[in-house]
Amino acid sequence: MGSGAIHRRLVFPLAVLTASGLLALAAPTEAHAAAPCPGRKVRTLPFSTGSVVVYKRGGYVCAVTHAKKPGAKRWMSVSVRARGGRAVVDRGRYQRHAGPVTVHAGRRCVWVKGSVSRDSVSSGWILC
């Protein structure tokens, strides 16, 4: 077998290996799921049926309510209110989480609330 035949037999498998390797590097993994809000996590407010996670970036505050045991749809809510402003609310029947909701707080305090089923949490004025 000449060198041309060997070359042709090696090119296709090498191309397939290279393409699959690049796809494996580019594909996202489940272990590195994206955060629901931009910025850094600044507070977690736990309660018996879930928790509210609060993020901050620049003058914006974002919050998400997570169910402790995701599964069947149930009533959930999350709200964020900057002092002197109106609350931004997401409520409804969800399986995993309510939100995210974001407000521009600037340097003002915020009040965060969240609920899953009948239990809830309320932060009081925070991040002042």
The answer to whether position 18 is within a domain reads: no
Integer CA distances (angstroms), 73 to 50, 97, 116, in order:
14, 10, 10
User: Residue 120 is part of a domain; what is its CATH number?
Assistant: 2.60.40
**Domain residues for 54?**
35-126
Residue 24 has a pLDDT of 41
CB of 115 closer than 8 Å to CB of 63? no
Q: How many CB atoms lie within 10 A of CB 78?
A: 29
The answer to whether position 24 is within a domain reads: no
The answer to whether position 97 is within a domain reads: yes
Walking along the chain (128 residues) 10 residues at a time, the average pLDDT comes out as: 56 48 40 76 97 97 97 97 97 97 96 97 96
Please give the model's pTM, rounded to 2 decimal places. 0.73
Residue 22 has a pLDDT of 38
The answer to whether position 25 is within a domain reads: no
Phi-psi region of 33 (alpha: psi -120 to 50; beta: other; left: phi over 0): beta
Cα gap 96→51, rounded to integer Å: 11
Residue 35 has a pLDDT of 79
Count up the domains in the chain and report the number. Answer: 1
The answer to whether position 91 is within a domain reads: yes
CB of 104 closer than 8 Å to CB of 110? no
Residue 30 has a pLDDT of 39
The answer to whether position 100 is within a domain reads: yes
Residue 77 has a pLDDT of 98
HSE (side-chain half, CA atoms, 13 Å) at 89: 10
